[in-house]
Amino acid sequence: MNKRLFVGVFIDNSIFDNKLNQLKQDFDKATIGKWVEDYNLHFTLKFIGDFPIPKISELRTALSEHLTDYQESLVFSGVSVLPNRKVPRVLYIDIQTETNLLLEKFIIIDDICSEFGIKKETREFKPHLTLLRMKSVANSFYRYLDKYSNEYFGTLTNFRVELIESILTPYGPKYTII
């Protein structure tokens, strides 16, 4: 028996004031897709995937030094898409830091997870906050993308890294801190 896990950080959307509401109103005019619920806003440091339940406590212990609070400014600024502008599937806000803390934590967590047989990440680490998973976009989408490409949304001055279970449901994912 397995649980679907990732290491990530939940984001309190109050740091965004009403800027997210305006962004949603604009992009709703130009996209069809599913917005991430405000209570589910997070960014992922390491996606683990299906992991054996009997080994979760061992994994949590190995990660425990890094599952903690951090005093570091995370700046949410600039909207972009994945995988690229020609085929936009995910709308996100970029996360910038003053130091390399997020990259350093990603590397350490990726190394620890690899000791448990979890495949190391091959893609470049790019901290981002997923907002919308898109099925289609209208031509006006690119106008809004350009409008928000350098928009400042807010700064988080501290955060907590968590080991999180993700249960997929027909209504969207349900996240539980382990």
Contact 13, 173 (CB under 8 A): no
In tens, the pLDDT along 125-172 reads 999 999 999 999 999 999 999 999 999 999 999 999 999 999 998 888
Read off the pTM: 0.93
Contact 18, 153 (CB under 8 A): no
The closest of 11, 9, 35 to 164, measured between CA atoms, is 9
The total domain count for the chain is 1
Percent of the chain with pLDDT over 90: 93
Domain that holds residue 47: 2-177
Q: What is the mean pLDDT of residues 63-81?
A: 97
3-state secondary structure of 85: coil
**CATH number of domain containing 32:** 3.90.1140.10
Alpha-carbon gap, residue 59 to 72, rounded angstroms? 25
Alpha-carbon gap, residue 105 to 161, rounded angstroms? 9
Res. 121 pLDDT band, cuts 50 70 90: very high
